[in-house]
Structure 1
Amino acid sequence: MSRIAVIAGQGGLAPAVIAALDAPLVYALDGFAPEVPATPFRLERLVPFLDGLIEAGVGRVVFAGAVRRPRLDPEAFDPRTAQLVPRILTAMQSGDDAVLREVLRIFEEHDLTICRVDEILPDLVPAEGVLAGQPSDADRRDAARAAEILAATGALDIGQGAVVAQGLCLALETLPGTAAMLDFAAAHAGLRPNAKGARGLLYKAPKPGQDRRIDLPTIGPDTVDQAAAAGLAGIAWQAGGVILLDRDEARRRAEAAGLFLWARG
Structure 2
Amino acid sequence: MTTPKTTPEGAGRLRLAAGAKVGIIAGGGRLPLDVADGLVAQGLAPFVLMVEGEASPTGGLGRFEHEVLAIESLGSLVGILRRHGVTHVVLAGEIRRRPRLSAMRFNFGLLAVVPLVISALARGDDGLLKVVVRGLEARGFTVLGAHQIVPDLTTSEGSLTRTVPGKADWRDIEAAREAAVAIGALDIGQGAVAIGGRAIALEGIEGTDGLLERVKALRGHGRLAGKTGGVLVKCAKPEQELRVDLPSIGLQTVEGAHAAGLAGIAVEAGRSLILDSAAVIARADALGLFVYGLPPRGGADGG
What interval of TM-score do these two structures reach, taking the shorter chain for normalisation?
Answer: over 0.9
Q: 1-side partners of 2:209 and 2:103: how far apart?
A: 33
In structure 1, distance between residues paired with 2:247 and 2:174: 18
Of 132, 154, 160, which residue of structure 2 is paired with 1:125?
154
Question: Which amino acid in the other structure matches residue 32 of structure 2?
Answer: A
- How far the C-alpha of 1:49 sits from its partner, in A, is 2.8
Deviations 1:134-184 (A, max 9, x none): 110111121111111112221211111111111122211111111111111
Contact 1:44 1:81 survives alignment (8 Å) = no
Paired letter, 2:26: A
1:58 is matched with 86
> Counterpart of 2:34?
16
Measure the CA separation in 1 of the matches of 2:80 and 2:277: 36
Q: Quick check: 1:86 aligned with 2:108?
A: no
Once residues 220 and 234 of structure 1 are traced to their aligned partners in structure 2, the CA distance between those partners, rounded to angstroms, is 13
Shift of 1:235: 0.6
CA distance in 1, matches of 2:186, 2:279: 34
Match in the other structure for 2:198: 168
In structure 2, give the amino acid aligned to 1:89.
Answer: I
CA contact (8 A) 1:228 1:259 kept: yes
Q: Indicate the SS of the match to 1:40.
A: strand
The 8 Å contact of residues 284 and 291 in structure 2, kept in 1 or not, is answered as yes
Distance 2:109 2:93 in 1: 27
Q: Does the CA-based 8 Å contact 2:47-2:84 persist in structure 1?
A: no
For the residues of structure 2 that align with 1:49 and 1:3, how far apart are their CA atoms? 16
Q: Which of 51, 59, 69 does residue 29 from structure 1 map onto?
A: 51
Q: Distance in 2 between matches of 1:184 and 1:75?
A: 34
* C-alpha displacement of 1:51: 2.6
The CA deviation at 1:56 is 2.5
Alignment of 1:31-50 (within 5 A): 31-34=53-56, 35=59, 36-37=61-62, 38-50=66-78
Q: State the 1:205 CA deviation.
A: 0.7
State how 1:222-261 maps to structure 2 within 5 Å.
Answer: 222-261=252-291
CA distance in 2, matches of 1:139, 1:155: 24
**Corresponding residue for residue 71 of structure 1:** 100
> How far apart are 1:32 and its partner, in Å?
2.1
> Structure 2: which amino acid aligns with 1:12?
R
Which secondary structure state, in structure 2, belongs to the residue aligned with residue 111 of structure 1?
Answer: coil
Aligned to 2:7: none
Change (3 A) 1:173 1:72: same
Are residues 45 and 179 of structure 1, via their aligned partners in 2, closer, same or farther at CA, if it must alter by over 3 Å? closer
Tell me, yes or no, if structure 1 residue 210 matches structure 2 residue 240. Answer: yes
Q: CA RMSD in A?
A: 1.7
CA distance in 2, matches of 1:101, 1:28: 19
Gap change, CA 1:184 and 1:6, over 3 Å in 2: same
Q: CA deviation at 1:75?
A: 5.8
Task: Tell me the SS of whatever aligns to 1:148.
Answer: helix
Worse overlay, 27-36 or 118-127: 27-36
Q: Kindly provide the amino acid, as one letter, of the partner of residue 63 in structure 1.
A: L
Instruction: Choose which of 180, 186, 205 in structure 2 pairs with 1:150.
Output: 180
**Residue 5 of structure 1 is aligned with which of 23, 30, 37?**
23
Letter in 2 for 1:64: A
Relative distance call for 1:113 and 1:216 in structure 2 (3 A) is same
TM-score normalized with structure 2 length: 0.82
Pick one of 251, 254, 262 that aligns with 1:221.
251
- Indicate conservation of the 8 Å contact 1:116/1:214, yes or no: yes
Structure 1 residues 47 and 192, CA gap change in structure 2 (3 angstroms): closer
TM-score (norm 1): 0.93
Bigger mean CA offset, 241-250 vs 75-84: 75-84
